[in-house]
Amino acid sequence: MPEISKSVGVSGANQRTDVTTVQSLLIKSARYLGSSKLYVATGVVDAITTAAIFRFQRVVVGMKNPDGRIDPKGGTFKLLNEVAAGKNPVPIPPPGAGDAEESAVTVPPAPPAYTGPAEPKKHNDCPFAEMPMFYRWFAPLYWPIRTTNSEGRQVCYQDIHDKDHGNRSRRYLWPRKGGTRYHCGVDLYGNHKDMIVAVESGTIINHYPFYLGTHCLFIQGDSGIVINYGEVEAGSWSEFKLRKGDRVKAGDPIARVGKMTKSSMCHFETYTAGTKSNQRWKTGHSRPNGLLNPTKLLLLIAREGL
Ligand SMILES: [Zn+2]
């Protein structure tokens, strides 16, 4: 069990090795901290580190008046070690928990987890959007659609054995417009006005009218992946006081599911960093710049996302 020699945090001795130890444990406990921004153990106590200590004390330890300090023999450090090691699992708080001043909006729970039966097929040699492994260890990921739709987190895709799962017309690269172009995203199930939350933390880089009266919302995540949350309700980000250029935290509400002529869904696309608008892929043409296959990422979030 990792130990510290002196106190860490507010008014602590804050020796570098001790701070690194505490930060590493907090990062391992990230999913219990609501929306912690502590991603890297720097060995230096900064505002993000003390905020994470306060959160841990408030959300996990249950302290009414947390002091923001971790002592070598204190209860906070003992529990932090246990939680980081997975020995003392505590309930995962809803997004925004422990941060009352920031959580004016209640985020509904995600539908039950879905595990794809097999690996997805790589269509047309298009690369998958993949979360770097190191990133997955400390950054919580959220299923974007907070819905009661009976299909829940179903990810429609074709696997490496060419077997379809879910409705194939919703999957990546299924033909559209009489076979003249491809479907560049995956259609996620949701009902009109369901809340959409950010899969990961990032920055809003664009939004504009998209398809049949709906809009799209582009967020570049801290992992580098750009997500187009497509077919959302026009202007629905304003409800959450968001505009282009704003930062969003993983799990923050960002928009609502829009309505086309009859149907509602979230058309989910992924791109490489720097992409600011959606790309069309015409049949017989090469892959548009920056387009990535979102299926693998969606299957990961469907299985493990909060
Ligand atoms: Zn679609």
Q: Are both 48 and 189 inside the same structural domain?
A: no
Q: Ligand 1 centroid to 267 CA: how many Å? A: 4
Q: Are both 143 and 274 inside the same structural domain?
A: yes
Query: What is the number of domains present in the chain?
Result: 2
Q: Are both 143 and 96 inside the same structural domain?
A: no
Q: What is the mean pLDDT of residues 211-233?
A: 96
pLDDT given for residue 88 in this prediction: 72
**Is the pLDDT score of 203 beyond 80?**
yes
**Is the pLDDT score of 224 beyond 50?**
yes
Q: Ligand 1 centroid to 21 CA: how many Å? A: 45
221: left (phi over 0), alpha (psi -120 to 50) or beta: beta
Q: Which of 202, 306, 205 is nearest to 249 (CA)?
A: 202
Q: What is the mean pLDDT of residues 229-238?
A: 96
Q: What is the mean pLDDT of residues 198-216?
A: 95
Number of H helices and number of E strands within the chain? 5, 16
Q: Which residues surround ligand 1, an ion (CB under 5 A)?
A: 185, 187, 267
Q: Are both 13 and 145 inside the same structural domain?
A: no
**Is the pLDDT score of 102 beyond 50?**
no
* Paired sense of beta strands 195-197 and 145-146, if any: antiparallel
Q: Ligand 1 centroid to 183 CA: how many Å? A: 6
What is the C-alpha to C-alpha distance for residues 226 and 188, in angstroms, rounded to an integer? 17
Q: What is the mean pLDDT of residues 90-95?
A: 67
pLDDT given for residue 100 in this prediction: 46
Q: Ligand 1 centroid to 188 CA: how many Å? A: 8
What is the C-alpha to C-alpha distance for residues 196 and 191, in angstroms, rounded to an integer? 11
Length of the chain measured in residues: 306
Q: Is the separation of the CB atoms in 49 and 33 below 8 Å?
A: no
pLDDT given for residue 279 in this prediction: 97
Q: Are both 153 and 92 inside the same structural domain?
A: no
Q: What percent of the chain has pLDDT over 70?
A: 93
pLDDT band for position 101 (cuts 50, 70, 90): very low
pLDDT tens digits, one per residue of 24-60: 999 998 888 766 778 888 898 887 888 889 888 888 8
Higher per-residue confidence, 87 vs 69: 69
| Residue 136 domain flag | yes
DSSP alpha helices (H): ranges in the chain?
16-28, 47-55, 75-84, 133-138, 295-304
Q: Ligand 1 centroid to 184 CA: how many Å? A: 7
Q: Ligand 1 centroid to 168 CA: how many Å? A: 11
Both tokens of residue 279?
A: 């790309």
Q: Are both 73 and 135 inside the same structural domain?
A: no
Residue the block writes with tokens 């006005």:
193
Q: What is the mean pLDDT of residues 277-299?
A: 96
Q: Which of 215, 194, 219, 196 is nearest to 274 (CA)?
A: 219
pLDDT tens digits, one per residue of 107-142: 888 999 999 999 999 999 999 999 887 676 667 889
Secondary structure of residue 231 in the 3-state scheme: strand
pLDDT tens digits, one per residue of 134-183: 676 667 889 999 999 999 999 999 999 999 999 999 999 999 999 999 99
Q: Ligand 1 centroid to 187 CA: how many Å? A: 5
- Give the residue from 68, 101, 134 where a domain finishes: 101
CATH number for the domain harbouring residue 250: 2.70.70.10
* DSSP letter (8 states) at residue 283: T
pLDDT given for residue 60 in this prediction: 86
| Residue 14 domain flag | yes
| Domain housing 70 | 8-101
Q: Are both 86 and 15 inside the same structural domain?
A: yes
